[in-house]
């Protein structure tokens, strides 16, 4: 395992080296959203309605939006999409687990520091947030969301290790329907359940700070293990033609 980690860090180095300018762009992007969230919170008098989708997108897709051009998902054959970095790893004398571990390391480096920066800035610059949550509750809120970034965010890495997509019309239609349902649910949640996802996470953080934080960390650990195993299985059956 230690050897795997060492090799994964070795594979990560060149990617990190060429990504620094994109990380500056990502920092500015998160700063912009921090400003928008503070304004939204202020305008809605400490409510967070309609902004859930943006926060969720930032915690799931934010880290992959700013990838270097040569490392973005690529179609390598008729129906296979994969991260070029995965293909490069597959040509090297490293185990598939190492390639997956490297993807996770890069994802976490591209997500956690920026998300943490945003959450700290929100607390420092929004009196409404400070008024609505004690420091304990806010730490729990931060853990809930950083953990979400791990157990939900890592799902995007399954695309990195490659998928042999089928080009059937029904698959496209089902995918679009699924995405539309998720967006619809997130959008209409405040009308159906009084509060949206972010507001519910604030309630949980305030009422059950410790339990919410512990559960979230557990989800993050389980999620990490689940996605690692899923990616490994996917690699075993994908044809990189």
Candidate ranges 23-31, 52-60, 75-83, 122-130; the one touching another protein (CB under 8 A): 75-83
Contact 157, 227 (CB under 8 A): yes
Task: Confirm or reject binding of residue 13 to another protein (CB under 8 A).
Answer: yes
Candidate residues 1, 135, 192, 241; the one interacting with another protein per rule CB under 8 A = 241
> DSSP E strands: which ranges in the chain?
74-77, 80-82, 163-164
Nearer to another protein, 69 or 168 (CB): 69
Q: Are 161 and 86 in contact (CB under 8 A)?
A: yes
Listed ranges 7-15, 144-152, 174-182, 218-226: which one lies at the site for another protein (CB under 8 A):
7-15
Report 15-54 residues binding another protein (CB under 8 A): 15, 17-18
Are the C-beta atoms of residues 64 and 152 closer than 8 Å to each other?
no
Residue of 72, 102, 143 lying closest to 8 (CA atoms):
102
Tell which one of 49, 68, 109, 116 touches another protein (CB under 8 A): 68
Q: Which of 2, 45, 91, 191 binds another protein (CB under 8 A)?
A: 91
How far is 228 from 214, CA to CA, in rounded Å? Answer: 21
Nearest to 132 by CA among 234, 201, 191: 201
Chain positions contacting another protein, by CB under 8 A: 7, 10-11, 13-15, 17-18, 68-71, 74, 76, 78, 83-96, 236-241
């Amino acid at each position: 395992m230690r050897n795997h980690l060492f090799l994964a860090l070795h594979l990560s180095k060149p990617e990190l080296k060429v990504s620094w300018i994109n990380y500056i762009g990502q920092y500015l992007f998160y700063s912009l959203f921090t400003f928008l969230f503070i304004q939204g919170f202020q305008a809605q008098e400490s409510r967070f309605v309609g902004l859930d989708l943006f926060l969720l997108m930032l915690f799931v897709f934010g880290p992959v939006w700013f990838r270097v051009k040569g490392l973005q998902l690529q179609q390598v054959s008729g129906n296979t999409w994969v991260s070029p970095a995965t293909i490069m790893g597959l040509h090297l004398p490293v185990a598939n687990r190492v390639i997956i571990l490297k993807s996770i390391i890069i994802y976490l480096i591209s997500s956690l520091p920026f998300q943490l920066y945003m959450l700290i800035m929100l607390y420092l610059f929004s009196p409404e947030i400070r008024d609505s949550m004690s420091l304990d509750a806010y730490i729990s809120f931060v853990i809930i969301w950083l953990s979400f970034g791990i157990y939900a965010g890592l799902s995007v890495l399954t695309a990195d290790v490659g998928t042999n997509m089928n080009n059937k019309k029904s698959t496209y239609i089902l995918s679009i329907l699924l995405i539309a349902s998720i967006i619809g649910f997130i959008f209409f949640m405040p009308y159906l359940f009084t509060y949206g996802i972010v507001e519910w996470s604030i309630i949980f953080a305030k009422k059950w700070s410790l339990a919410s934080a512990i559960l979230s960390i557990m989800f993050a650990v389980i999620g990490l293990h689940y996605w690692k195993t899923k990616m490994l299985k996917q690699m075993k059956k994908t044809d990189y033609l």
